[in-house]
Chain A
Amino acid sequence: MIQLDYIDRASSTQTVPVVCMHCDSPTCAEVCPAHAIKRTDDGVVQSARKPRCIACNNCVLACPFGIPKMNTRMELMMKCDQCYDRTSIGKLPMCASVCPSQALFFGTEEEIARLRPNSTPINAFQFGAQTITTRTRMLVPKNNVPEQLDVLSAMYQPTIGHDIEEDLLLEGMNAEDSYA
């Protein structure tokens, strides 16, 4: 259950593979009204338990990374669980095992430090006032390591090939201020 996001499909071939970040405080599980989403002792947030999932879509809407997907035919939320069937018997997750450029990597911190000497993995993300720490890590350049990745700040940056002329988000925030 991996998704490939296109940064700007019209003018660039750049893509971002999105796997579950396996948050320490999983928002999908927090919002689940049926308590169907559970985290195993190894820190992996699992797909919804089939006997409990009521296919309400709360997790799909709530996840800050957009990971859970609703399988409407099965009436079950399914998400990246790091290929639990494979990793539990010592195999790599499918995505990491087939990635030709090693953009996705599954292994220990020592291994990644040896493979990517110029990068540092970080696992803290800033969404507005909330900091999310995750089990999955992202690599950032070693010479400029932020304390956490401010996810929303990307919304104010012009994407490749486009310029943001009207900042809808900022306008909305100003409007909220004026109500106060």
Chain B
Amino acid sequence: MPEKDSEAISVPPDGRPAKDQPVWRKDFPIDWSEDEYRSRREFIAFLMLTSAAFVAGQFWILLVQAWRKAGSQPSVKEIASVDELPVGQSKLFEYPNPGNHCILVRLTETNFVAYGQKCTHLSCPVLPRPDLGRMHCPCHEGWFDIRNGEPVAGPPRRPLPRVGLDVRDGKVFANGYVEGVI
């Protein structure tokens, strides 16, 4: 195959320079070398680079997961006082970092639960329905068990990430995850 020649040998019929020509002339050149270059080498390079990017992406996901699992539990944080939350009510908080929205629900006098608020299906915020004993995601009608965060209906297949709780001296503290990563 001839080497790719940067200088075109064929000229467009109107004789204007290459920069004044419509873009399609570059995509459909008359010169053999330009054509071969585009149709084969560029396509092969595209295939190689995209598949390499996919492979790298898979390894990156694995790496991030391993790094998260190996990471230590986040620090203990005070999120509410027992008095401000009547039974059946909920409170939003951010844990462990600002932006990680979580929700605290008081089920009974002594039973508190807290979950990451992102639905495990497509990350919509879930809403507590203690009257039904469920967490509800209104986007696609996803339902979770409010006692343990397990999915019970709708598209979600993974449980909600659960925040460990500690109730001391009339205060509620979050101390790490029980299950999953927020």
Which A residues are within 8 Å of any B CB, using their own CB? 24-27, 29-30, 35, 37-43, 46, 130
Instruction: For B27, give the chain A residue with the smallest CB separation.
Output: A35
Q: Given known contacts A37-B30, A38-B32, is B2 in contact with A26 (CB within 8 Å)?
A: no
What secondary structure prevails in chain A residues at the interface with B?
A: loop
Say how far B10's CB is from chain A's closest CB, in angstroms: 5
B84 within 8 A of A: no
Q: Given known contacts A35-B28, A38-B31, is B13 in contact with A43 (CB within 8 Å)?
A: no
Are B12 and A25 closer than 8 Å at their CB atoms?
A: yes
- Given A39-B9, A39-B30, A40-B31, 15 other A-B contacts at CB below 8 A? A25-B10, A25-B11, A25-B12, A26-B10, A26-B30, A29-B10, A29-B30, A30-B13, A38-B31, A39-B10, A39-B32, A41-B3, A41-B9, A41-B32, A43-B9
Chain B residues closer than 8 Å to A46, beta-carbon distance: 32
Instruction: For B34, give the chain A residue with the smallest CB separation.
Output: A38
Say how far B21's CB is from chain A's closest CB, in angstroms: 12
Most chain A beta-carbon neighbours within 10 Å: one of B5, B10, B11, B35 = B10
7 nearest A-B residue pairs (beta carbon): A38-B32, A40-B32, A41-B2, A29-B30, A25-B13, A35-B28, A39-B10
B33 within 8 A of A: yes
Chain A residues closer than 8 Å to B11, beta-carbon distance: 24-25
Q: Given known contacts A29-B30, A40-B2, is B10 in contact with A24 (CB within 8 Å)?
A: yes
Instruction: For B4, give the chain A residue with the smallest CB separation.
Output: A41
Chain B residues closer than 8 Å to A37, beta-carbon distance: 30
8 examples of A-B residue contacts, CB within 8 angstroms: A25-B11, A29-B10, A39-B9, A40-B33, A41-B31, A42-B2, A43-B9, A130-B13
Say how far B22's CB is from chain A's closest CB, in angstroms: 13
Chain A residues closer than 8 Å to B15, beta-carbon distance: 25
Chain B residues closer than 8 Å to A38, beta-carbon distance: 30-32, 35
Are B32 and A30 closer than 8 Å at their CB atoms?
A: no
Are A41 and B35 closer than 8 Å at their CB atoms?
A: no
Say how far A47's CB is from chain B's closest CB, in angstroms: 12
Q: In the complex, A35→B3 CA distance in Å?
A: 20
Chain B residues closer than 8 Å to A30, beta-carbon distance: 13, 30
Q: In the complex, A29→B9 CA distance in Å?
A: 14
Chain A residues closer than 8 Å to B12, beta-carbon distance: 25
Say how far B16's CB is from chain A's closest CB, in angstroms: 11
Chain A residues closer than 8 Å to B32, beta-carbon distance: 38-41, 46
Q: 1/0 contact trace for B44-79 toward A, CB 8 Å?
A: 000000000000000000000000000000000000
Q: In the complex, A104→B162 CA distance in Å?
A: 89
Q: In the complex, A57→B13 CA distance in Å?
A: 20
Chain B residues closer than 8 Å to A26, beta-carbon distance: 10, 30
Chain A residues closer than 8 Å to B3, beta-carbon distance: 41
